[in-house]
Amino acid sequence: MKKFFIKFKDKIFDALKSMGIGVAILIPGVSAGTIALITKIYDKMTEAIANIFKDFKRSIITLIPIAIGVAIAMVAAWVPLHLASEHILFAMVSLFAGCVIGSIPDVVDNIKGDKIKKRYWIYLILAIGCGALFGILSYHCGLDVSHLFSPSIDKKLYLIIIPVGFVAAAGIVVPGISGSMMLLVLGFYTQILGIFKGGQNLGPAIGVLACMAVGVLLGMLAFSKIMRVLLAKFRTATFIWIIGLVIGGIFSLYYNHDIIAYYQKGIKWWEYMLAAFLLVGGFIGSYALTLYNRKHKELSEENKKIDTKKNARRQVSK
């Protein structure tokens, strides 16, 4: 019975942690993969996805609470984020920029003690450039697909949206890449976020989202396998790229198609003050989580050492 409650508690915590992933999925520039990494759910999630055909039952048991947490967060945050993107987008972006900045030390901790080769600095610069490039592409090369959504949803969209979902899945599995930013580049982000606006085309809208979900699931399966190989064979280099993408992503938060359109409308003085407050608040909250993770890791290592010493004494006494 005790084991059952411990496992149940772990599943509840997984669901709560994954709610951060659900919110991150909806924010351009914020990587859901990075949030999964920070909340220490990343390895569990990617391993379950990669092994879903090999060990279906175990993978599903692992993924169900994560999926529930993501779904609850996305449903709860969908309308507020849509409203915030219309009225206080700069302030909202600043909150998530603070969260991202505060999370960088936690990502860096993954390579603490590793030997940093000279070429890794080149990787870091290239990754920062790639992270910034997503925002630049969304503004200068973003596609206009609004004709597929209005006045009624075009049937072609059902086929197009599957590969779009596949590409967006990279943002869920690959830390440092934002799936929403990928959607911005492809021209689908604003259209998807407002797909239920006005309550029209409810059936077709659900069909489009279902097709997108298929693409996302296929993409998660593919990218999780790729990331497992990269982390197993090129761990330090992969984390260097992740750190660079996260840093470059901060630029993309403030320079992308949607935020530039918002700048052009004009930002009121009180929103600058709110943005500064949220930036600092986001940083403090995120960095506090980093410090908690460090302390938890130190305690785990100390407990392992104590257990090792106890086992050694038992062996000697025998």
Tell which wins on pLDDT, 200 or 9.
9
Name which residue leads in pLDDT, 130 or 11: 130
Is residue 249 very low, low, confident or very high in pLDDT (cuts 50, 70, 90)? confident
Q: How many Å apart are CA 133 and CA 131, to the nearest integer?
A: 5
Give the whole-angstrom CA distance, residue 238 versus residue 31.
Answer: 16
pLDDT band at residue 274, thresholds of 50, 70 and 90?
Answer: very high
Segment 125-157, tens digit of pLDDT: 999 999 888 888 888 876 677 777 767 777 778
pLDDT of residue 53: 84
Q: What is the pLDDT of residue 84?
A: 80
Q: Kindly give, in sequence order, each residue whose CB lies less than 8 Å from that of residue 85, ignoring residues fewer than 6 positions away.
A: 92, 193, 258, 262
In this predicted structure, the answer to whether residue 277 has a pLDDT above a threshold of 70 is: yes
Query: What does pTM read for this prediction?
Result: 0.78
Q: How confident is the model at residue 222 (pLDDT cuts 50, 70, 90)?
A: very high
- Please, what is the average pLDDT of the chain? 83
Q: Which residue from 250, 241, 252, 127 is spatially nearest to 181, judged by alpha carbons?
A: 252
On the CB side of 231, CA atoms within 13 Å amount to 18
Q: Where are the domains of the chain?
A: 2-317
Eight-state DSSP code of residue 159: H
Nearest residue to 226 (alpha-carbon basis) of 84, 8, 33: 33
| Residue type present at position 11 | K
